Structures are given as C-alpha cells and as structure tokens.
Amino acid sequence: MKTLDSIRKDLSPARRKKIQAGTDKLIAEEMTRQELRHARQLTQVSVAKSLGITQDAVSRLEKRTNILLSTLSGYIEAMGGKLSLVVKFPDRNPVILSGIVEDGDDPKPTRRKRPHAHA
C-alpha cells in the first residue's frame, strides 16, 4: 500500500516545488463572506432561503467578526461548499484540522436576547 509520504518521495524536487506552490496559492486566497457569496453569484436572499432565515439575518451574519463555527459552516453549506480549517505553523506545511464542525449542527444564527430597559 502506498502512503502519501511514499508518493511524495517518488516525485522529483521540481514537481514537489510546483505542487507546493499551487497549494500555497490556494491557501493564500482570502475573501470575506460577502465576497465569497458574490463569487458564487448568490444573493443574500437565496442564501437566506437555504438557511431558513431572513435576508437581514444574512446581512448581519456577513458583517460579524465573531461567529460560531457551526453558523459559518451552515452559511458555507448554503452556498454549496464545505468548511475546512487550515492550521499554519512556522516549521511545517499547513494542516487541515478535522473534527471541529459536526454534521447536523444547527446552521441558523441564534438571536441574543437584549436586556430590556426599565423606565
């Protein structure tokens, strides 16, 4: 049985360098949630329908800086994608982290209750 390491060892240094450059390019791509939705040619309304929430809720979700992974995963899945987390260390290649977002998590953003002002 061939392992990934054995396959890599069989590659020429030039080929390994080319593959690493392509990997680095893909990892370096960075977009906001809104830019990603636009790149997928989707509207907030269409994403909202997939999530079962309002367009306004999608707008708020796209503007948030602090978001639950399950919420982000649901948002990405509503656009037809799958969320992956990449961990970068200075002394090794990037690693895709697994076991973070479970299937079946509720993708809908939760509403926080605001304290009522009493007169």
Which pLDDT value is given to residue 108?
47
Q: How many helices (H) and strands (E) does the chain have?
A: 6, 2
Domain range list for the chain = 31-109
**pLDDT over 90 percentage in the chain:** 42
1-58 pLDDT tens trace? 778 778 878 889 998 888 888 777 666 677 889 988 988 899 999 999 999 999 999 9
Q: CATH second-level architecture of 31-109?
A: Orthogonal Bundle (1.10)
Q: What is the pTM of this model?
A: 0.59
* Phi then psi dihedrals of residue 17, to 5 deg: -65, -40
69-82 pLDDT tens trace? 999 999 999 999 99
